[in-house]
A and B are shown apart, each in its own frame.
Chain A
Amino acid sequence: MQLKREGEGQGSIRQALALAACSLLGGGASAQAADTPWEIDSAVLLYSEADGRVSAIEPVATARKEIREDEFVQLKVVVDALTGASPNGATPSDEVQTFTRPSGTGVYTADPGETPLDDTFRDTRGAVSLSWDRPLGRLQRRTLGVGISREFDYTSLSANGQLSRDINHRNTTLSAGASLAADFIHPVGDIPTPYAVMVPPDQPQPRDTDIDDKLTLDLLFGVTQVLGHDTIGQLNYSFSLASGYLNDPFKILSVVDGVSGKTRDYLYEKRPDSRQKHSLYGELKHFLGGDVVTAAYRFYSDDWGVISHTVDLRYRWNLNRENYLQPRLRWYSQTAADFYHHSLIAGEPLPEYASADPRLAEYDATTIGLKYGHRIDAGSEWSLRVELYRQDGVDHPDDAVGLQRNLDLFPETKAIIIQAGYRFRW
């Protein structure tokens, strides 16, 4: 594709970037590579939870370019800035609760009846990934990618590859991919000893080590199928195996009196050191009188005992050639992990593993949203998406004891998601 010549300065930056991309991939940059435009897709996401909990702002940009015929490179840059408070796993109580900060210096508190929130949640993440997608003959493609993500207390390195092949007169595409990630966690105040009792600040803290790691292997097998002149479908099976440090170093459990429900102690959580996940994902896209209907379903199961169902429906209402509105409804339901406990009972033997992380509890979640998009020309569009997300769990579980029966034991999450996007050619 030819692009009309633009300003000399901008053109030379583009050419330099194209040359750099080609040199990186070990090939010579052709005149064509320098002339094809970069496709830039950018957006900013604002995520904000109610009641002063987590807020995030996340700008993202991807730059994609055809460097040879039907061969593409893509660079993606993400910045993620988080602030706010997050449930620490302890249950509410009828008195003020005081917790030692993860750093081991200072405390934070929760008022009577209030879900305990760790307000030291503050982080900035930067991530860069690069992928290279090229044809292998007429019917096959290969994609290779690498990525790095860095936070103040967390580093992740990953590499992935995917092969796909068209069959059945290009009506069916089979794909298989693998990804390997190595993550390193080095929290402020080091890594707490599982099941150790939280001690007051400025005393020797129960810590194992300053850094730990986990390895994650993902496999993905997929089929994409043209089902008719106006319908296309996709079915994926994915498998993930993570091993290593899978605890959340900031999560604790309350140990409560078996009769009164009053809190006696706080223990650092303990999860298994491996996790196997299986997912089956299906998606259908259908063109309906000028509009596009998308329906997706995922079945998920893992060896921690979590089973979930996700349904995601979108209707892209093309108002005219330039404008569309897209309502969306997502429904999610999960069972609790086998070792999820909202709290532990004092005097009873400790289970092999235990976590009170509300994300491992049983709950349902819904997202409703609306997106508006405006097409400027063939290569550019801006859009705005607004969504509301809400989790509903079991506030009064059957095994609540004493004062717990009068308190909400599931910290409901309500959030608003706003995303502004702009896509253009450069």
Chain B
Amino acid sequence: MRRWTALGLMLIVVSGCSSLGVKPWQRGVLARPDMALAAESLDAAYDDHIYFSKEASSGGRGFAGGGCGCN
């Protein structure tokens, strides 16, 4: 049930997105390196590893993963 709710939510978001957005010439700010969603990928990888080792939750931003015996 929960996964269907999540899927439905994503469909609503996607359909709502079709009216959002900017023209190519309005992307100056979005093209800045510090505005990239993966701007600090090493920091994010370290965080995922630390919190995977110390907390019961994982995943979300990327694959829930594992790959180590730390949890």
Contact = CB atoms under 8 A, between A and B. Distances in A.
Interface of A: 41-43, 45, 47, 58, 60, 62, 80, 82, 123, 125, 127, 147, 149, 151, 153-154, 156, 158, 160, 168-172, 174, 177, 179, 181, 183, 185, 216, 218, 220-221, 223-230, 232, 234-240, 242, 248, 277-281, 283, 285, 287, 292, 296, 298, 300-302, 304, 306, 308, 310, 316, 318, 324, 332, 334, 337, 359-360, 365, 371, 385, 389, 391, 413, 415, 417, 419, 421
Nearest to A149: B67
B69 to A, nearest CB: 3
Contact of B42 (A43, A172, A223): A43
Contacts of A415: 54
B18 A172 contact: yes
B59 A172 contact: no
Given A45-B46, A226-B21, A337-B56, A154 B37 contact: no
Nearest to A250: B69
Contact of B55 (A216, A227, A235, A365): A365
Contact of A278 (B6, B22, B29, B49): B6
Contact of B61 (A58, A151, A242, A281): A281
A156 B21 contact: no
Given A168-B17, A359-B54, A154 B68 contact: yes
Nearest to B14: A223
B54 A413 contact: yes
B68 A308 contact: no
A147 B56 CA distance: 23
A278 B28 CA distance: 36
A181 B17 contact: no
Contact of B58 (A80, A229, A277): A277
22 contacts: A42-B42, A43-B46, A60-B42, A62-B42, A147-B67, A169-B24, A223-B13, A229-B30, A232-B37, A235-B10, A237-B6, A281-B61, A283-B37, A283-B61, A285-B37, A302-B56, A302-B57, A310-B57, A310-B60, A359-B56, A417-B46, A417-B50
A43 B41 CA distance: 11
Contacts of B54: 359, 365, 389, 391, 413, 415
A166 B45 CA distance: 25
B39 to A, nearest CB: 8
Contacts of B70: 82
Contacts of B20: 168, 171-172, 225-228
Given A60-B42, A419-B46, A171 B22 contact: yes
| Chain A to chain B: the 5 pairs with minimum beta-carbon distance, closest first | A171-B21, A281-B60, A154-B69, A240-B64, A279-B60
A225 B17 contact: yes
Nearest to A296: B61
A281 B9 CA distance: 12
A42 B46 CA distance: 12
Nearest to B21: A171
Nearest to A306: B56
Given A47-B50, A239-B3, A316 B34 contact: yes
Contacts of A292: 32, 34-35
Contacts of B57: 277, 279, 298, 300, 302, 306, 308, 310, 332, 334
Given A62-B42, A417-B50, A238 B14 contact: no
Contacts of B60: 236, 238, 279-281, 298, 300, 310
A242 B35 CA distance: 34
A311 to B, nearest CB: 12
B71 to A, nearest CB: 7
Contacts of A41: 41-42
B65 A179 contact: yes
B35 A149 contact: no
Contacts of B23: 169
Contact of A235 (B13, B29, B51, B71): B13
Contacts of B59: 218, 220, 238, 240, 277, 279, 281, 300
A57 B7 CA distance: 40
A160 B67 CA distance: 13
